[in-house]
């Protein structure tokens, strides 16, 4: 299917690995021009290097950073059509999951909200005026199943992502009549570095359960989270949903939440 993204200009945050890297690769394959934002580059991002890809090294927790990334899209490609707010998860130096509400203090909550909610707010604030000048655009905010499924694990993260969902609905109502569609994609547990890196979620859960990291990712985590598919989600599966929502083929989809979670959410 042609997603009709050829020549479109996109900003993707958290772009060097995992879901973000898959989104960048997918948008490039569809003919889009992409500004990829992350703290540093990666071998995967470097493999995609070309005239249609610009990497911006920024810390999106810095208040000025999202605006700088959006401005770079104008500088390099003349405008902005698509914004994918993917940056999120554990802030630098933070290990998730936490197993209790009491494991996170005020500073922990602030840093989680800075990365997972406030960076989204700031990126949207910078992007919307540019999209309005072009007659519209698409914003896709990567949320989480934890936004809708409260848990004692990662309470601060779930609350921040719930804020992203609420923000998305509000933005879709205000700017939909002006041609800007705003949607969320809510992954379940995705096999990304959050899980796979040394000291990541797989190792944390392995230490809690007396298991090993491979068993956690292959069997224990899907069982604990009651995933219908019996496996963690692949980043490309999330990227495909993001690309579809960014596409003009989704012209009547706004204010929606696309769930790509392996059956994690059970409620109607």
Whole-number Cα distances in Å, 226 to 188, 251, 260, 262, 265: 11, 33, 14, 9, 9
Alpha carbon distance 188, 208 (integer Å): 21
Task: List strands edge to edge, sheet with 137-142.
Answer: 53-57, 33-38, 9-13, 82-85, 137-142, 180-187, 257-260
Q: Is 157 a catalytic residue?
A: yes
Catalytic hit among 77, 113, 157, 195: 157
Give catalytic residue positions. Answer: 157
């Amino acid at each position: 299917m042609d997603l009709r993204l050829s020549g479109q200009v996109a900003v993707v945050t958290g772009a060097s690995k995992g879901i973000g890297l898959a989104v960048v690769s997918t948008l490039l394959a569809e003919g889009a021009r992409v500004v990829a934002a992350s703290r540093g580059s990666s071998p995967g991002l470097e493999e995609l290097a070309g005239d249609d890809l610009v990497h911006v090294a920024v810390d999106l927790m810095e208040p000025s950073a999202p605006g700088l990334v959006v401005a770079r899209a104008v500088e390099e490609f003349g405008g902005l059509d698509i914004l994918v707010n993917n940056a999120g998860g554990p802030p630098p130096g933070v290990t998730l999951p936490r197993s209790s509400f009491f494991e996170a203090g005020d500073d922990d909550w602030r840093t989680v909200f800075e990365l997972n909610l406030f960076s989204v707010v700031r990126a949207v604030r910078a992007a919307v005026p540019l999209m309005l000048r072009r007659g519209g655009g698409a914003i896709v905010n990567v949320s989480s199943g934890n936004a809708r499924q409260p848990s004692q694990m990662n309470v601060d993260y779930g609350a921040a992502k719930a804020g992203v969902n609420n923000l998305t609905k509000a933005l879709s109502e205000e700017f939909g009549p002006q041609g800007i569609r705003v949607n969320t994609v809510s992954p379940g547990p995705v096999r990304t570095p959050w899980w796979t890196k040394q000291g990541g979620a797989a190792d944390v859960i392995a230490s809690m359960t007396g298991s090993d990291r491979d068993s956690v990712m292959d069997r224990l985590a899907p069982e604990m989270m009651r995933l219908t598919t019996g496996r963690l989600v692949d980043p490309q599966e999330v990227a495909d949903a993001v690309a579809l929502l960014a596409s003009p083929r989704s012209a009547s989809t706004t204010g929606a939440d696309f769930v790509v979670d392996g059956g994690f959410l059970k409620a109607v």
